[in-house]
Amino acid sequence: MTAPASDGRRTARFRVHRRKAGDTASRYDEFEVAVGPNTTVLDGLVEIRRDKDPSLTLRHSCFHASCGTCGMRVNGQEGLACVTKVGEAAEVTVEPMANLPIVSDLVVAMEPFYECLDPVDRPLIRNSETVPSELPDGIDAYTRYEDCIECGICLSACPIAGSDPLYVGPAAIAAAWRVVEEPRGLAAGPVVRLMDDEQAVWRCHVAWECSEACPSGVDPAGAIARMRRAAIAARARRLFGSGGGA
């Protein structure tokens, strides 16, 4: 790390994962980037692409943690590059998210992630086209799961998704729990039953990394735990003959 200039800017080394289609192995390229106190990892990557290596592939859009497209691993930890500051780090290692197919350099294919969400069939049903003047009591509990930006970071952080490629993953279970908690006219029972599966709630080993890593404050691990309780309750009801719904 070079000494900071009078304006607080200094040079940081970016180690960037590189792998193009057809490559048999990954490599890491190093770039010296001028950074300031508020420089984000995405700022640095955009500068590298603009000024040093136009072949660097990365995905981004909004620059303010809203679109969820710039999820990656920075120094081994998942985060949105647009809101992850370089800080005081002398070296920043940037890698694509884990557990999803690498398309190129820092970009992963999101289709397998979206396929995990498909079975839940999340409804986007408005009761009204206008926002009510007063929100219902307890709406905060629901909006938490509504906040998911589908960035895939939870899937990358999950150690079980890394070892079991058929695990449906934290985001899908959180989405399912949103339906159960606030069904908006849908039947919650089939959703609970869908998630009562060895590839769903019972595959989680409670590392809690998904909730810790989530940039939107969604709590997928909490959703998994609640869905487990709902699944157990539904089984008990089926077993003792008091209905099959959740």
Partner 1 sequence: MAGTLDRERPLAAPEQRRGVGGWFDPRGRRMGGFAFILNRLTGIGLVLYLYLHLVVLSMLARGPDAWDQFVDIALSPPFLALDVLLLVGMLIHGLNGIRVGLIGLGLVASRQRAMFIALMTIAALVALVGALRIFGGE
d(CA 124, CA 12): 44
Q: Which is nearer to partner 1, 95 or 182 (CB)?
A: 95
189 lies in the binding site for partner 1 (CB under 8 A): no
Q: How far is the CB of 214 from partner 1 (least distance, A)?
A: 12
By beta-carbon proximity to partner 1, the closer residue of 125 and 206 is: 206
- Closest distance of CB 113 from partner 1, Å: 8
- Supply the minimum distance, in Å, between the C-beta of residue 128 and partner 1: 32
Site for partner 1 in 39-78 (CB under 8 A): 73, 75-78
Nearer to partner 1, 132 or 138 (CB): 138
Q: Which of 101, 123, 243, 245 binds partner 1 (CB under 8 A)?
A: 101
Residues 110-169 that bind partner 1 (CB under 8 A): 112-113, 115-116, 119, 155, 157, 159, 161-163, 165-169
Among 212, 217, 233, 243, binds partner 1 (CB under 8 A): 212
> Which position among 70, 196, 220, 246 is part of the footprint of partner 1 (CB under 8 A)?
196
DSSP structure string for the chain: -PPP-TTS-EEEEEEEEE--TT-SS-EEEEEEEEE-TT-BHHHHHHHIIIII-TT-------SSSSS---EEEETTEEEEGGG-B-TT-SEEEEEPPSSS-EEETTEE--HHHHHHHGGG------S-SS--SSPPTTHHHHHHHHT-----HHHHH-HHHHH-TT---HHHHHHHHHHHHS-TTS-SHHHHHHHSSTTTGGG-----HHHHH-TT---HHHHHHHHHHHHHHHHHHHHTTS-S--
In the complex, which residues of this chain contact partner 1 (CB under 8 A)? 73, 75-78, 98-102, 112-113, 115-116, 119, 155, 157, 159, 161-163, 165-169, 193-200, 202, 204-209, 211-213, 221-222, 225-226, 228-229, 231-232, 235
